[in-house]
Amino acid sequence: MIRYALCHDFEEIFTGDIPGPAKRAVAHEQGYISVIIPHVKKVLGSIFWHKDEVPPVVAGIVKIGSLIDEVFYMSTEFQLGNSTMNVPFMNSMARLMRSIESLSGDPSITEDKKKALIDILEEDIKRHRFGDSEMLIG
């Protein structure tokens, strides 16, 4: 899991850190993934793992981590006055919640643990988004 978590965004070596909503739009419209991933694999070889090459639970946990980062980034933007983040924020929150709820493949990830994670994240994100500095995470 650590290796995949460290290398899952290696394509950003070539593209820079494209915000999630923009990356998803480009990926669907212009085949970004089908073009960049083979290039990354060619340059980096066995160092790079694509999400299809790791167990689904590993890819899911790393995806959740990326979505948490995305949501907190958008919350900071909102806190700084960027009201254009409302729709992308809500979309990313929905994706985050779906990703947590769809986590499967590991018996240690119970429904109770998923619910606890969702409860903690919802509270922390709300606090962060509206400026309460007392957070449980991070």
pLDDT score at 29: 57
pTM flag (> 0.85): no
Q: Which two tokens stand for residue 58?
A: 């590993």
DSSP state of 109: S
Q: Distance (Å, rounded) from C-alpha 77 to C-alpha 36?
A: 28
- pLDDT digit string, tens, across residues 62-118: 999 999 998 998 888 888 889 898 888 899 999 999 999 888 777 888 999 999 999
- pLDDT digit string, tens, across residues 11-66: 777 777 777 777 777 766 566 667 777 777 787 777 667 677 888 888 899 999 99
